[in-house]
Structure formats: structure tokens, C-alpha cells
């Protein structure tokens, strides 16, 4: 069969997978602008409301490694579609119940489905694209996810206010179901493997048979001159129990300095933005700075735009300057630290220009964290990628969860734990809990960067 010179299928597979990711982000942030509506619907106070994103984030982070392991076993498509179905069920429950305990169960389902999405999409990319395209396509994936974040703020609030709570959330579930069906018809784990629908009926169509990756034939592993390092060669022998296999895989991965470097890059860059967007941004801007909620909402949208713009720039930059990509990440982290420190230590109320600078610089950490997955790809054999991606993606979300908790704790310790008691000084002290996380992350990046360089030289490897 003739093969198209520039096959479209990789872009169609990626576009559909990215649409599933955008819907996952809409589901993830669907309560962000609906706080008062949720309080009304379930009759709950602000503290109970705040547990919703916490539970969701906890489930998301806790499932990253198990989901990664499953991706390596059952494939990215099955996990992506399974995750989407979980979110459809979760949002349907959210639409139809009035009991807060069932609403929490709904958020657990949404968090679990969300946990399956991003790393599955990341696992598909190296199967369909050339190595040099991967940074750009990864950043575009993040950017499409950010578009989902934009939808989940004002448009979703408007939709729910017009259609009502039940119809609003059923609408989200219906959109989820539509993209799941589309995914079952379009997404393939790799060229030559059937869609979910084809595998169900046991027939492979012409499009699948003719499918080609944009990377041509890509051997496993992404490091040039790849005599496999002996510690990565599976030892043949009696099959080991699953738990033992898991730990030995984890140990073998963590022995690679490049994997540890990826972990710390992801740990250090995105948590400030996550903490701000997921929970503490609005309370800080309204209760600490004294903005009205509409102005705070506008500023929060600025963070999404800044992150989308950075995604467009960082993809080509990290693809072009592959040897310096970790320094690019570190530069962004240092800019975030400096901007946050200026806000924390500013005498009196920080001026508007400084707040705008914070809301433009801080979200750069999201796209910068995608560099972690580039580093990871350069150091992980393809058969471990799901597991390794889950492991690295845990880093930023664990840091986010810890910082969210610590900020709440420090506010409580100062007697400023509820909206009527919030004050700028209490928020300054509370946000300072981020500083040790940045210090730890930066020190570990510097250490692992040196070790990775030495490892590459000793093994005669060159990045690509
Ligand atoms: N760093 C984010 C992705 C991102 C890209 N641009 C802005 N944010 C990340 O790790 N995402 C994981 C997820 O599940 O969304």
C-alpha cells in the first residue's frame, strides 16, 4: 500500500487524545468557579468545600504510579478511555446526588479518571512522533489542557447558572462520553495496533494497517548510541511475583541519574502555580490583598494565558537547546522564587505591577515542568515509560499537595484560618512555606544534573 509522505493519522490520534486531556482538565477544575453553587447545592461550609480539591488531588497523586505501571501492561489507549469513563460516571454522580458523602465519592472518581489521562497521552507521543518533534507536541498538549482550564472557569459557571446544577454536570458527563466514543474509534497505542473499537470486534481496518509514525522506525530508548546499560537489561529466569517486579523496576529506574533529575525538575517547577490555581489564589487575592472577587478571577485567567504562551515558546526552545533544557527550567524556577519572595517580603501591600508580575511569572512553572518529561524520555527505555512518567508526575503533585496543606496549617496556627480572619501578613508567612521546597528542589536538580552529565560521559551517550 502506498504510504503518505506526511501521514495525518499521528496528528489525528494526538488531537483526539489531547481533547480527552482538555476534558479531563475541565472535569478537574469544574468546581473552581462553582464554589458558592456547590455550597448551595450540598448545604456545606467552606471548609468542607475545600476538601473536594484536596481529595481529588490526593487520589490523582496516589494513582500516578499504579496507572503508569498499568499503561506499560495494558496500553495507553485502554487507560485513557478507562479514565474518561470514570470521569463520566463521577460527573453523573455529581449531577444527581445531594448527599455530600456521595459528592466526595464523585470527586474520587473524577480524580481517579483524571489520574489516567495525562500520562497516557504522554505515553502515546513517542510512538507517533519523531524525537525532535516531541518537546513541541508535549507543550501543545499542555497548552490544550490549559484551554480546558479556561473553559472550566467563567464559561462553565455561566452554563451552570443558566442550565442549573444537574443539567450543567450532566452536560459535562455527556461531553466526556462523546470524546470517549471518539477516542475508542480513533486512538491507537502505536502504528499497526488497532483502535479500541477494532480490538473489540477483532478486525483491523485499512487505516490501522497503513499507519506510520512521523518518526519513521524508532528503536526503543531515546539516547543516541544505545548499547543498553546492563542494569536495564531484564534478567531472564523464573518469573517474579508482581510486587517484587515492581520494586526491582523502581530500583532500576531510580538508579538512573537522568530519571532522578527528571523527578526533581518536576518537583520544583509547577507546585507554586498549582497551589495558587487549585486553592489558595482566590483567598489570597481577595482576603489578603483586598481585591474584589471579579478582579481576582480576571487575574487568575491571566495565569492561564501566560502558561499557554510559555508553552508555545518553550517547546521549540527545549527542542533546539536540548543540552541546556534543564538550565531553562532552572532559570524559570529562579524567576518564580524571586517574584514570590518580592511579594512575601514587600513592606505593606504589594503594588499592582508586582502582583501582575507574579501572575505572569508563576504559571511558567507548568510548561517548564514538561521539560521533566523530555529529560525522562532521554533516559528511560520505552517499555518502562508509563511507570517512569507516573513516577515523575507524582513529584510536582506531591509537592503541590504538601504545600496546600502546609499553607492551611500555617494560616490556622496564626489564627487566620477562615475567610473573615484572613490577613495579608498571615498569607505572607503561610506562602513562605514554599521556600524550603524550592531550595530542596534546586539543590537536588544541581546535584542530579552533575551526576547525569557524569553518567552520560561514562556511558558514551549523547542526548537527542
Ligand atoms: N505541568 C503540567 C502540565 C502543564 C503544561 N502547561 C501547563 N501545565 C502537568 O504536569 N500536568 C499533568 C496533568 O495531569 O495535567
Q: Which atom of ligand 1 is nearest to the CA of 143?
A: 6
The pocket around ligand 1, CB under 6 angstroms, is made up of 118, 142, 145-146, 270, 307, 311, 366-367, 369-370, 393, 396
Those residues of the chain that have pLDDT short of 70 are 1-6, 217-244, 463-464
Residue 393 Cα to ligand 1 midpoint, Å, equals 9
Check whether residue 182 and residue 254 sit in a common domain: no
Q: Which atom of ligand 1 is nearest to the CA of 397?
A: 10
Separation of alpha carbons 171 and 159, rounded Å? 9
Check whether residue 373 and residue 320 sit in a common domain: yes
Separation of alpha carbons 12 and 182, rounded Å? 11
Q: What 3-state DSSP class applies to 417? A: coil
Check whether residue 261 and residue 164 sit in a common domain: no
Q: 276-313 b/e with 16+ CB inside 10 Å = b?
A: bbbbbbbbbbbbbbebeeeebbebbeebbebbbbbbee
Residue 36 Cα to ligand 1 midpoint, Å, equals 27
Check whether residue 178 and residue 292 sit in a common domain: no
Q: How many domains does the chain have?
A: 2
Check whether residue 194 and residue 257 sit in a common domain: no
Residue 4 Cα to ligand 1 midpoint, Å, equals 33
Check whether residue 252 and residue 174 sit in a common domain: no
Q: In the prediction, which pLDDT does 1 show?
A: 46
Cell of 203: 478486525
Percent of the chain with pLDDT over 90: 69
Residue 277 Cα to ligand 1 midpoint, Å, equals 12
Cα–chain-centroid distance for residue 302? 19
User: Does a structural domain hold residue 130?
Assistant: yes
Check whether residue 252 and residue 394 sit in a common domain: yes
User: Does a structural domain hold residue 372?
Assistant: yes
Contact 178, 94 (CB under 8 A): no
Q: Which atom of ligand 1 is nearest to the CA of 117?
A: 14
Residue 142 Cα to ligand 1 midpoint, Å, equals 6
Contacts of 139 (CB under 8 A, 6+ apart): 311, 312, 314, 315, 318, 367, 370
Measured by CA distance, the residue closest to atom 7 of ligand 1 is 366
Per the listing, cell 504545600 goes with 403
Q: In the prediction, which pLDDT does 168 show?
A: 93
Write out pLDDT tens, residues 254-271: 999 999 999 999 999 999
Contact 156, 307 (CB under 8 A): no
Q: In the prediction, which pLDDT does 240 show?
A: 61
Q: In the prediction, which pLDDT does 293 show?
A: 84
User: Does a structural domain hold residue 274?
Assistant: yes
ipTM for this model: 0.96
CATH code, 399: 1.20.1250.20
Check whether residue 351 and residue 411 sit in a common domain: yes
Q: How many CB atoms lie within 10 A of CB 85?
A: 16
Dihedral angle sign, alpha carbons of residues 179, 184, 189, 194: negative
Q: In the prediction, which pLDDT does 229 show?
A: 44
Residue 138 Cα to ligand 1 midpoint, Å, equals 10
Q: In the prediction, which pLDDT does 72 show?
A: 92
User: Does a structural domain hold residue 422?
Assistant: yes
Measured by CA distance, the residue closest to atom 8 of ligand 1 is 366
Q: In the prediction, which pLDDT does 430 show?
A: 96
Check whether residue 264 and residue 189 sit in a common domain: no
Check whether residue 159 and residue 41 sit in a common domain: yes
Segments forming the whole domain that contains residue 396 = 248-455
User: Does a structural domain hold residue 239?
Assistant: no
Q: In the prediction, which pLDDT does 5 show?
A: 62
Contacts of 61 (CB under 8 A, 6+ apart): 115, 394, 397, 398, 401
Q: In the prediction, which pLDDT does 315 show?
A: 94
Contacts of 380 (CB under 8 A, 6+ apart): 221, 222, 253, 256, 258, 259, 388
Check whether residue 335 and residue 429 sit in a common domain: yes
Q: In the prediction, which pLDDT does 337 show?
A: 98
Among the candidates 207, 235, 268, a domain finishes at 207
Measured by CA distance, the residue closest to atom 13 of ligand 1 is 118
Check whether residue 252 and residue 186 sit in a common domain: no
Q: What 3-state DSSP class applies to 224? A: strand
User: Does a structural domain hold residue 232?
Assistant: no
Residue 376 Cα to ligand 1 midpoint, Å, equals 15
Q: Which atom of ligand 1 is nearest to the CA of 141?
A: 5
Residue 370 Cα to ligand 1 midpoint, Å, equals 7
Residue 67 Cα to ligand 1 midpoint, Å, equals 16
Q: In the prediction, which pLDDT does 232 show?
A: 45
Separation of alpha carbons 210 and 1, rounded Å? 7
Separation of alpha carbons 335 and 337, rounded Å? 5
Measured by CA distance, the residue closest to atom 1 of ligand 1 is 366
Closest by CA position to 421, among listed 296, 285, 283, 278: 283
Closest by CA position to 386, among listed 55, 63, 141, 81: 63
Contacts of 246 (CB under 8 A, 6+ apart): 69
User: Does a structural domain hold residue 223?
Assistant: no
User: Does a structural domain hold residue 383?
Assistant: yes
Q: At what angle do helices 9-28 and 165-186 cross, to 10 degrees?
A: 160
Closest by CA position to 134, among listed 116, 122, 117, 148: 122
Per the listing, cell 484551554 goes with 147
Among the candidates 183, 207, 231, a domain finishes at 207
Measured by CA distance, the residue closest to atom 9 of ligand 1 is 366
Amino acid at each position: 500500500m502506498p504510504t503518505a509522505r506526511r501521514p495525518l493519522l499521528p496528528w489525528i490520534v494526538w488531537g483526539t487524545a489531547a481533547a480527552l486531556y482538555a476534558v479531563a482538565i475541565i472535569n478537574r477544575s469544574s468546581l473552581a468557579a462553582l464554589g458558592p453553587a456547590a455550597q448551595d447545592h450540598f448545604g456545606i461550609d467552606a471548609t468542607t468545600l475545600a476538601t473536594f480539591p484536596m481529595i481529588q488531588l490526593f487520589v490523582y497523586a496516589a494513582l500516578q504510579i499504579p496507572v503508569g505501571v498499568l499503561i506499560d501492561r495494558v496500553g495507553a489507549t485502554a487507560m485513557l478511555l478507562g479514565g474518561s469513563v470514570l470521569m463520566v460516571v463521577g460527573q453523573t454522580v455529581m449531577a444527581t446526588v445531594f448527599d455530600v458523602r456521595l459528592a466526595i465519592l464523585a470527586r474520587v472518581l473524577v480524580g481517579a479518571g483524571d489520574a489516567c489521562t495525562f500520562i497516557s497521552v504522554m505515553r502515546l507521543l513517542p510512538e507517533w512522533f519523531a524525537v525532535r518533534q516531541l518537546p513541541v507536541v508535549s507543550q501543545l498538549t499542555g497548552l490544550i489542557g490549559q484551554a480546558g482550564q479556561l473553559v472550566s472557569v467563567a464559561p462553565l459557571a455561566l452554563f451552570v447558572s443558566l442550565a442549573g446544577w444537574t443539567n450543567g454536570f450532566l452536560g459535562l458527563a455527556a461531553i466526556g462520553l462523546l470524546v470517549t466514543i471518539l477516542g475508542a474509534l480513533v486512538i491507537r497505542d502505536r502504528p499497526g495496533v488497532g483502535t479500541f473499537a477494532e480490538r473489540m470486534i477483532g478486525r483491523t481496518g485499512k487505516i490501522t494497517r497503513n499507519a506510520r509514525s512521523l518518526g519513521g522506525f524508532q528503536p526503543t530508548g531515546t539516547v543516541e548510541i544505545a548499547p543498553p546499560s546492563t542494569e536495564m537489561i531484564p534478567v531472564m529466569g523464573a518469573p517474579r511475583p508482581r510486587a517484587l517486579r515492581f520494586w526491582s523496576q523502581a530500583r532500576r529506574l531510580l538508579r538512573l541519574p537522568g530519571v532522578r533529575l527528571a523527578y526533581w525538575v518536576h518537583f520544583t517547577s509547577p507546585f507554586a502555580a498549582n497551589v495558587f490555581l487549585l486553592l489558595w489564589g482566590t483567598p489570597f487575592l481577595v482576603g489578603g490583598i483586598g481585591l474584589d472577587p471579579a478582579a481576582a478571577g480576571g487575574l487568575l485567567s491571566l495565569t492561564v494565558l501566560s502558561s499557554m504562551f510559555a508553552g508555545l515558546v518553550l517547546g521549540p526552545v527545549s527542542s533546539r537547546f536540548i543540552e541546556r533544557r534543564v538550565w531553562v527550567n532552572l532559570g524559570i524556577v529562579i524567576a518564580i522564587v524571586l517574584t514570590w519572595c518580592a511579594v512575601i517580603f514587600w513592606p505593606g501591600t504589594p503594588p499592582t505591577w508586582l502582583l501582575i508580575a507574579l501572575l505572569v511569572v508563576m504559571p511558567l512553572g507548568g510548561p517548564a515542568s514538561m521539560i521533566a518529561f523530555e529529560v525522562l524520555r532521554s533516559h528511560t527505555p520505552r517499555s518502562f515509560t508509563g511507570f517512569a512518567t507516573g513516577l515523575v508526575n507524582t513529584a510536582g503533585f506531591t509537592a503541590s499537595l504538601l504545600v496546600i496543606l502546609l499553607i492551611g496549617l500555617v494560616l490556622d496556627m496564626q489564627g487566620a484560618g477562615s475567610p473573615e480572619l484572613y490577613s495579608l501578613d498571615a498569607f505572607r508567612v503561610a506562602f513562605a512555606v514554599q521556600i524550603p521546597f524550592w531550595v530542596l528542589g534546586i539543590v537536588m536538580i544541581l546535584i542530579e544534573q552533575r551526576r547525569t552529565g557524569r553518567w552520560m560521559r561514562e556511558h558514551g551517550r549523547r542526548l537527542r
